[in-house]
Structure 1
Amino acid sequence: MIARVFYNAKAFPGVVLVILHDEEVISTIKSKNVTKLLGKDEKLLGYNIEVDHFESDQDGYQKMTYDLLRFVNGSLHDAFDEEIIHDFNPYIVVGRVLACDDHPDSDHLHVCQVDVGKEVVQIVCGAANVKANINVVACLPNAVLPDGKFITKGKLRGIKSDGMLASAYELGLIEEKKKGILILEDEAKVGEPFFK
């Protein structure tokens, strides 16, 4: 399971939001300082944790750490005798584009075969600078970008895509949006986590 934690001191002071699934909240259950968020058929979507103080140097998405997971699970245990297990496996990795073909139903999309170390995955990419024989940053399903965006499997114009190839902006490396994916040096080791 991938848990995403958000905190916005300006908009929602004193509330830590834990998202497990991006679906519409239908009902809630409150116990102590925790509100459980439920979706259709009472599917657990996440939690709101009320806090007196939450230490963070930024608003928005909070990168999951073992300390943050301990804080979340401590609150959940006290309120509901529950805990979550977060998957800390790296899903943002160095990939190598082995093949890059034009999408059959688009004038700007490309269908790429990308070696991510353990396997070769298919990723549809719209960047003009994508081509074969380059090293890139592959965001695989279950990856969480620095802004909290969750990456899933999907289809783009009917062609399956197992993730995305990321730009420097999407990776939080630059503040101004620039076109194109981030191309890594040839020495970058395929399959290695991008963020170490």
Structure 2
Amino acid sequence: MNLFYNPTGVGDVAFVQLEVVEGPYEYEKTNDIVTIKKDDQVVGFNIFNAAQSLDIQGTGHIKLTDDLLSKIQSAVKNAGIDTKLEVDLTPKFVVGYVQEKEKHPNADKLSVCKIDVGTEVLQIVCGAPNIEQGQKVVVAKVGAVMPSGMIIKDAELRGVPSSGMVCSMKELNLPNAPQEKGIMVLEDSYQVGQAFFEE
């Protein structure tokens, strides 16, 4: 789930994204809430007059907390909409350990990696020339919002499933990021599964 809020640019509307799907969408307005559906599945809400019910701090991509999630759920319920929000609030940018690296069967410049992120082992297709087995790296898990605004989704790259992205300093918008291609390799002191950012 992602929450976006820009009162100066768009007005007092909170944009709640539950699923990342392509349109066209159907819209249903109930009081101050527009429910956004795709093939009868609820994929998001636009909550008007958001400042009255949500107490959002900041603008842009808003960090979700238990308190804010509870307020969004109450706003949806108070509008008479029967949708239970199932949300994973665990960190989306975490330290991963590259357990395995194999050549992609259908692409010379891609690697298929098995990366331990603490709670699970993800298969991630990576195009960085410097990724190697045994490294600690920064992983953007599915649902992460990159500084560019891109949302990480489950994907299939040249026929191989990939769940997440191994990040470079440039992609993370870190200062003094090198211009050459390559993922960010972390020091060994980082713990596998720990949050990379204070999210």
Pairwise TM-score range, normalised by the shorter structure: 0.7 to 0.9
Give me the CA root mean square deviation. Answer: 2.6
1:122/1:160 contact within 8 Å kept: yes
C-alpha deviation, 1:108, in angstroms: 1.9
Q: Distance in 2 between matches of 1:13 and 1:124?
A: 39
Secondary structure of the residue that 2:96 maps to in structure 1? strand
Q: Distance in 2 between matches of 1:11 and 1:45?
A: 23
- For structure 1, list consecutive stretches of 5 or more residues without a partner in the other structure: none
TM-score (norm 1): 0.82
Secondary structure of the residue that 1:90 maps to in structure 2? coil
C-alpha deviation, 1:96, in angstroms: 1.2
Matches within 5 A, 1:159-178: 159-174=160-175, 178=179
- 1:75 maps to what in 2? 75
Q: Distance in 2 between matches of 1:175 and 1:147?
A: 17
- 1:190 maps to what in 2? 192
Cα–Cα, structure 1 residues 170 and 9, in superposed 2: closer, same or farther, change >3 Å?
A: farther
- 1:30 maps to what in 2? 29
Matches within 5 A, 1:1-196: 3-23=1-21, 24-40=23-39, 42-51=40-49, 53=51, 55-58=56-59, 60-82=60-82, 83-145=84-146, 149-174=150-175, 178=179, 179-196=181-198
Say which is worse superposed, 3-12 or 129-138, in terms of deviation.
Answer: 3-12
2:169/2:177 contact within 8 Å kept: no
Amino acid at match of 1:20: L
Amino acid at match of 2:27: T
Amino acid at match of 1:61: H
Query: Which runs of 4 or more aligned residues in structure 1 lie more than 6 Å from their structure 2 counterparts after TM superposition?
Result: none
Say which is worse superposed, 146-155 or 18-27, in terms of deviation.
Answer: 146-155
Amino acid at match of 1:4: N
1:100/1:113 contact within 8 Å kept: yes
Amino acid at match of 1:37: I
Please give the per-residue CA displacement for 1:6-61, whole angstroms capped at 9, x wherever unaligned: 11234311111101122325322212211111212x21111111116464433x21
C-alpha deviation, 1:193, in angstroms: 2.6
1:61/1:147 contact within 8 Å kept: no
Please give the per-residue CA displacement for 1:156-192, whole angstroms capped at 9, x wherever unaligned: 1112212211123433434978432221111211122
